Structure 1
Amino acid sequence: MSAPGGNWGFRTGVNDFWGEDHGRKTIGKTILVTGGTGFIGGAALRALADSEPGTNIRVLSRQPLPESLRTGEVLHVHGDLTDPSSLRGVCEGVSTVLHLASHVGRDPELCDVVNRHGTTALLADARRHGVSRVAYMSTTAVYGHGVHRGLTETGVNPLPVSPASRSRLFAEQAVRGFGGIVLRPHLVYGVGDVWFIPTLLRLLNRVPSWIQDGAARVSVVCVDMLGEVLSGLTRIPWRGGETYHVSHPRSTSFRSIVRTVCSTLRLDLPSRSLPVAEHREISRGMMPELTDHQHELLASDHWYDSSRIWRKVRQCPGPGFSSRFARAADWYRDLLPIG
């Protein structure tokens, strides 16, 4: 949830970086990453390091970088999204900002401080230093309640229901107004995931039943593929003010997800199926921390048209959940037993 500051003695303007034909790199680039020590940010840093050796990467965070991130191409910049004064100067010399830090808890004040005011302060520094390329990682949670089937980025007006998603929608609006772009993944899995699959595992442990036979279809994306998309965006021009869904283009059923998870982790499959309402009533008692909205995400269709982003970055999304999940099996296995 944090981000950083510093003062640098050089500058790379966006026009110099792209050159006149907007496709040819003319000088080295510097990328500022907020949230680089987190789940998605870490994947972005790995992808950047793999695809663009020699790129200058600044990671904005309150704490020193973990040993795994301390390389010659990664520079720690101290700062905090809760302290706007610490963000002054962090964008000097930067060609692209990947703003991947958010507070996703339930404290409204902290959500506003980090997501609203922190983003505003970061954009102000980007403006001061002539940085126009800012990409913000948001979430499909900004759409709020409802069944979503093949939803496009303009298919429905966002109606967020939580402090986190409301403040992230504000950050979206600020970024688009600035001329940046917004990315909205749905459910993200992979090494480092502490919400999607762990929540599903806890639910299966406490309420070992299918929800409506596991028929709900959802959009998912592997965090490593999300990192590749972010890395790809740093290498191409973009038009500001746009929003992109970022999930695998093929939706998958929760029945398929649960079967893959249980098979890989050698867990028993649910032995019965419950209607959505009955399952929710039982889960309220067995897992009170699960919100109505979170249960809805596991019980009803939530899949999104993500075709535009793959065309944009000219990448192949590769295999889906059933093939990729095994790569994170050790991570999830270490989280067992789920209490």
Structure 2
Amino acid sequence: MGTTGGRPVLLTGATGFIGTAVIRELHRVGWFDWGPPLVVLTRSPPQWLAESGVEVVKGDLSEPDGLRGLVDGMSTVIHIAAQIGGDAGRCRRVNRDGTKFLLAEAEQAGIQRFLYMSTTAVYGHGPHRGISESLLAPEPVSATSLSRAQAEREVRRFGGTVLRPHLVYGHGDTWFVPALCRLVRAVPAWIDRGAALTSVIEVNDLAALVVRLMGLSWGKSRGAVFHANDPRPVRMREVIGTVCRELGVRPPSRNLGCEAHRERTRKVLPGLTDHQFELLAKDHWYESERLWRRTELDPGGGFAEKFARSADWYRAHVSPDATDPVDLGYSEK
């Protein structure tokens, strides 16, 4: 199977955290000067999107009747849109059924290049330590993750490619780092000295991987699943220490064992689920070398260096005194 051949590419989720980064990366590499046309499906296009060099199609994956023929004449579907949270019915309509609709349209149009942005949350409870994509079966524990695992199965059956990032940070992040700040403020203690290892990826790196795949032949990737993370896991002590230092948040001043910390968080942050707490307290890191080898990209510097690049954005958009309920949205993605 070849590359785009000059035919248009469809992108869903372009106004979200990851999709916006993909648009930025397309501009950075000059896609709109030399690449094929980009068509964006969105419910409500902001002004910046209409002015960014894309063709906008208004529509909703939960109401697909008006989207028949959407992908006719295209070469590739990059499906990033997702329903995160909310009732189970909405998750099924957008994540499972919306993906099935796009796949059916792609099949009818003769398209084989279909990329789906999923999440390691489909694995469910950890700990997970250096597991490769072929050695861990999805066991989702929420309506969001269940619907995304169901979407994954349809994509792989079709022969599409699935990416599973874990915790994503950077410009536009309204979940992971803000939630971390609220947690540290509410319970200013390390969990088992912050020893847990986790997989993270800067959103610009994730976007670069997606854009690189858009320009490659997918002959070796059809039906494949890739962990989409920095290949070097990082300890939560470094993550929290870096975030606190860069954003002016007081770092933890003492240490609590996992169970003692969980008992405390249940009282002061009742919205934090056991699964979300596990992501911060226990190892969740995934072998992620394959995708970097496939794209021949260099992951570059470490977490502290990359986080510093987005620290100004976080300082402008995240209040360290926030008292909103903790929402580790990227446990669901």
**Would you call these one fold, judging by a TM-score over 0.5?**
yes
3-state SS of 1:264 partner: helix
3-state SS of 1:124 partner: helix
Tell me which of 88, 92, 103 is aligned to 2:72.
92
8 Å contact kept, 1:98–1:134: yes
Q: Which whole-Å CA distance do the structure 2 matches of 1:263 and 1:180 have between them?
A: 41
Where do 1:143-162 residues align within 5 Å? Answer: 143-162=123-142
8 Å contact kept, 1:186–1:220: yes
Match of 1:288 in 2: 270
| C-alpha distance after superposition, 1:147-206 (max 9, x if no partner) | 111010011211110101111000000001111000000000001111111111110111
Match of 1:3 in 2: none
8 Å contact kept, 1:87–1:122: no
1:331 offset after TM fit, Å? 2.4
Identity %: 48
Match of 1:33 in 2: 11
Matched, 1:49 2:27: yes
Match of 2:322 in 1: 338
Greater shift in the superposed pair: 136-145 or 80-89: 80-89
Structure 1 unaligned residues grouped into runs of 5+: 1-14
1:248 offset after TM fit, Å? 0.3
Q: Which whole-Å CA distance do the structure 1 matches of 2:276 and 2:201 have between them?
A: 17
Greater relative contact order (Cα < 8 A, sep 6+): 2
| C-alpha distance after superposition, 1:92-133 (max 9, x if no partner) | 121111100111104111111111111111111111211110
Match of 2:297 in 1: 315
Match of 1:324 in 2: 306
8 Å contact kept, 2:10–2:41: yes
Q: Which whole-Å CA distance do the structure 2 matches of 1:72 and 1:328 have between them?
A: 22
8 Å contact kept, 1:181–1:243: yes
Match of 2:231 in 1: 249
Letter in 2 for 1:60: L
Structure 2 unaligned residues grouped into runs of 5+: 324-333
Letter in 2 for 1:252: V
Q: Which whole-Å CA distance do the structure 2 matches of 1:169 and 1:305 have between them?
A: 19
Match of 2:196 in 1: 216
Letter in 1 for 2:6: G
CA RMSD of aligned residues (A): 1.3
3-state SS of 2:78 partner: strand
Where do 1:69-88 residues align within 5 Å? Answer: 69-71=49-51, 73-88=53-68
8 Å contact kept, 2:123–2:136: yes
1:50 offset after TM fit, Å? 2.1
Match of 2:40 in 1: 59
Match of 1:10 in 2: none
8 Å contact kept, 2:185–2:250: no
Greater shift in the superposed pair: 183-192 or 72-81: 72-81
Match of 2:167 in 1: 187
Matched, 1:115 2:99: no
State the TM-score, normalizing by the size of structure 2. 0.92
1:49 offset after TM fit, Å? 2.3
Match of 2:261 in 1: 279
Equivalences, count? 316
| C-alpha distance after superposition, 1:283-316 (max 9, x if no partner) | 1111111111010001000000010000111100
Where do 1:253-264 residues align within 5 Å? Answer: 253-264=235-246
Matched, 1:297 2:276: no
Letter in 2 for 1:266: G
Q: Which whole-Å CA distance do the structure 2 matches of 1:260 and 1:332 have between them?
A: 13
| C-alpha distance after superposition, 1:43-67 (max 9, x if no partner) | 111112222233311110111x223
1:70 offset after TM fit, Å? 2.6
3-state SS of 1:60 partner: strand
Letter in 1 for 2:92: D
Q: Which whole-Å CA distance do the structure 2 matches of 1:338 and 1:316 have between them?
A: 36
Match of 1:103 in 2: 83
Letter in 2 for 1:88: R
3-state SS of 1:53 partner: helix
State the TM-score, normalizing by the size of structure 1. 0.90
Q: 1:34 to 1:338 in 2, by over 3 A?
A: same
1:28 offset after TM fit, Å? 2.0
8 Å contact kept, 1:87–1:121: no
Match of 1:11 in 2: none
